[in-house]
C-alpha cells in the first residue's frame, strides 16, 4: 500500500501496523517504583490499568525515548520508541543500578506488538475482544485472554496497541485482518504512522526528537515534572534560568519543503525545518520548524523556506480535523459513517 492510501485509511477507516519500532520492558522488584520514579519524566500517579505518556531524557535533557509507562500488579511495563531495544535496556539498567532489588526485563522477547489506528479502530478491535473496548478510556489497558490491549496511539485517531504472545501473534493478526474486511482495514507502515503524527501534532522521536534540543523547545513541558528529580532534570532547571531561544512551530506550504531547509523572514534566518511531508488529506506540505521564539507564533504568512525561497505560513496545529473526534462508539459505526456530519479533513 502506498503512503497516500495508508494515510487515508488511518484518517477514514482503520489501519493495522506491526510496531517493530516499539520495545516493551518490564520493571519489577521492591525498588522498581523508586528506580522508575528517578528515570521517567512524569510524576508517577498511576493506578493499575492506567498508563502515562512521558519521556526518557539524557543528562543534557535531550530526548532519548518516547514512552508509555503502565502500572500492572506491583510492577511496571514501559513501551518505548526511539532507541533500539538494546540501547533502551542499557539506559534503564544503567540508571536503575543505584537502586536495590530492581529487575529490568526485555518483555518484548516472546511478544509482538500490533497497532490499530483510525476512527473505526475500536470497531475492529471489538470484533476480536468484545464490546469492553468501546468504553476503554484513553491511556488505559485491559487483558483479553493472552492479549494485552492498550488504548494509546499517536495519529490523532482512536488508537490501540495490542501485545500478543509470539505463539498467538500471527493468528491474532489474521483474525483482525479477516474481521475487518467490510471496514476496509489497511496494513500500514511506520512512514504512514509518522506522517499522521506530523499532521496531528504528536511528537516524533525519530524526527524533531533527534535534534539537540529539550522538551522546552519541543513544547513538551506537559510531559515533564517540576516536582521531582530525574535524569536530565538538573539540566532543564539550568536552562529555565534564561528564556528559551527556539520553539517548535507548525508551517504549511503549497510547495515542497525539505527537512533541514533554512527558514527566513525577510533577510533574517529565523530557524530550520525538522520534520516535513506532503499531506494528501490537505493537499499541501506540512512542516515543523524550530523557529526563534519571537517568530514562533501562528498567523505569520510570509516565511521563506530553503534555497528556492518557498513561501510558508505558520498555523496552529493540529492541521487535520480528526474524524475520531466526531465518532461516538456508543452510537456510530463504519457502516453508518455516511450519516455522520464530518467536517472537511483539512483544518
Partner 1 sequence: MDPSLRALTERRRAMLDRVRTMLIERLNLSLTSEEIDPDTPLFGSGLALDSIDAVDLVIHLETDFGIRIPTDQAGRAELRTVNSIVDLALAVPEGPPDEPA
Interacting residues toward partner 1 by CB under 8 A: 53, 138-139, 201, 219-222, 226, 247-248, 250, 265-266, 268, 294-300, 316-318, 321-322, 325-326, 328, 341, 343
- Smallest distance from the beta carbon of 99 to partner 1, in angstroms? 28
Q: Which is nearer to partner 1, 167 or 241 (CB)?
A: 241
Q: Which three cell numbers stand for residue 264?
A: 527566513
Identify whether the C-beta of residue 182 lies closer than 8 Å to the C-beta of residue 335.
yes
Query: Taking the complex as a whole, how short is the minimal distance between the CB of residue 91 and partner 1, in angstroms?
Result: 23
Closest CA to 66 of 259, 180, 215, 230: 215
Work out how close the CB of 172 gets to partner 1 at its nearest, in angstroms, rounded to a whole number.
26
Question: Which of 68/76 has CB closer to partner 1?
Answer: 68
Query: What is the smallest separation between the CB atom of 53 and partner 1, expressed in angstroms?
Result: 6
Q: Which residue has the cell 493495522?
A: 16
Residues 156, 190: Cα–Cα separation, whole Å: 15
Which contacts of 215-218 are long-range, i.e. CB under 8 A and separated by 24 or more positions? Answer: 215/41, 215/55, 215/57, 215/61, 215/63, 216/240, 216/244, 217/244, 217/245, 217/246, 217/247, 217/248, 217/290, 218/63, 218/248
The one-character DSSP state at 134 is G
Partner residues linked to 65 by β-bridges: 56
Q: How far apart are CA 7 and CA 189, in angstroms?
A: 10
98 vs 268, beta carbon nearer partner 1 = 268
CB nearer to partner 1: pick between 100 and 268: 268
Nearer to partner 1, 20 or 226 (CB): 226
Beta bridge partner(s), residue 112: 164
H helices within the chain, ranges in order? 3-12, 32-37, 85-96, 121-129, 166-179, 190-199, 233-239
Q: Residue 179 or 207: which CB sits closer to partner 1?
A: 207
Q: How far is the CB of 240 from partner 1 (least distance, A)?
A: 8
Instruction: Tell the smallest beta-carbon distance from residue 203 to partner 1 (Å).
Output: 10
Q: How far is the CB of 128 from partner 1 (least distance, A)?
A: 24
Amino acid at each position: 500500500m502506498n503512503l497516500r492510501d495508508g494515510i487515508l485509511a488511518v484518517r477514514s477507516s482503520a489501519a493495522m501496523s506491526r510496531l517493530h519500532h516499539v520495545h516493551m520492558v518490564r520493571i519489577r522488584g521492591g525498588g522498581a517504583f523508586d528506580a522508575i520514579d528517578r528515570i521517567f519524566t512524569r510524576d508517577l500517579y498511576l493506578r493499575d490499568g492506567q498508563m502515562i505518556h512521558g519521556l526518557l531524557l539524557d543528562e543534557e535533557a535531550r530526548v532519548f525515548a518516547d514512552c508509555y509507562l503502565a502500572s500492572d500488579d506491583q510492577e511496571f511495563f514501559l513501551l518505548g520508541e526511539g532507541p533500539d531495544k538494546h540501547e533502551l535496556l542499557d539506559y534503564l539498567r544503567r540508571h536503575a543500578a543505584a537502586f536495590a532489588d530492581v529487575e529490568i526485563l526485555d518483555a518484548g522477547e516472546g511478544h509482538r506488538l500490533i497497532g490499530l489506528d483510525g476512527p473505526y479502530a475500536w470497531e475492529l478491535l471489538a470484533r476480536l475482544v468484545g464490546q469492553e473496548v468501546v468504553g476503554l478510556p484513553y491511556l488505559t489497558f485491559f487483558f483479553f485472554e493472552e492479549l494485552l490491549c492498550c488504548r494509546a496511539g499517536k495519529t490523532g485517531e482512536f488508537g490501540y496497541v495490542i501485545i500478543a504472545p509470539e505463539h498467538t501473534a500471527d493468528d491474532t493478526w489474521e483474525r483482525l485482518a479477516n474481521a475487518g474486511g467490510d471496514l476496509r482495514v489497511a496494513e500500514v507502515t511506520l512512514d504512514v504512522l509518522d506522517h499522521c503524527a506530523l499532521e496531528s501534532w504528536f511528537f516524533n522521536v525519530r524526527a524533531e526528537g533527534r535534534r539537540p534540543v529539550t522538551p522546552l523547545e519541543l513544547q513538551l513541558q506537559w510531559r515533564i515534572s517540576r516536582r521531582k528529580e530525574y535524569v536530565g532534570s538538573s539540566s532543564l532547571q539550568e536552562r529555565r534560568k534564561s528564556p528559551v531561544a527556539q520553539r517548535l512551530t507548525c508551517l504549511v506550504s503549497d510547495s515542497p519543503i525539505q527537512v533541514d531547509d533554512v527558514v527566513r523572514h525577510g533577510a533574517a534566518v529565523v530557524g530550520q525545518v525538522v520534520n516535513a511531508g506532503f499531506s494528501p488529506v490537505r493537499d499541501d506540505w506540512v512542516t515543523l520548524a524550530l523557529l526563534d521564539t519571537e517568530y514562533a507564533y501562528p498567523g505569520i504568512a510570509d516565511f521563506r523556506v530553503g534555497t528556492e525561497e518557498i513561501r510558508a505560513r505558520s498555523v496552529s496545529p493540529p492541521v487535520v480535523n480528526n474524524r475520531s473526534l466526531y465518532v461516538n462508539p456508543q452510537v456510530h459505526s463504519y457502516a453508518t459513517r455516511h450519516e455522520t456530519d464530518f467536517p472537511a479533513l483539512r483544518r
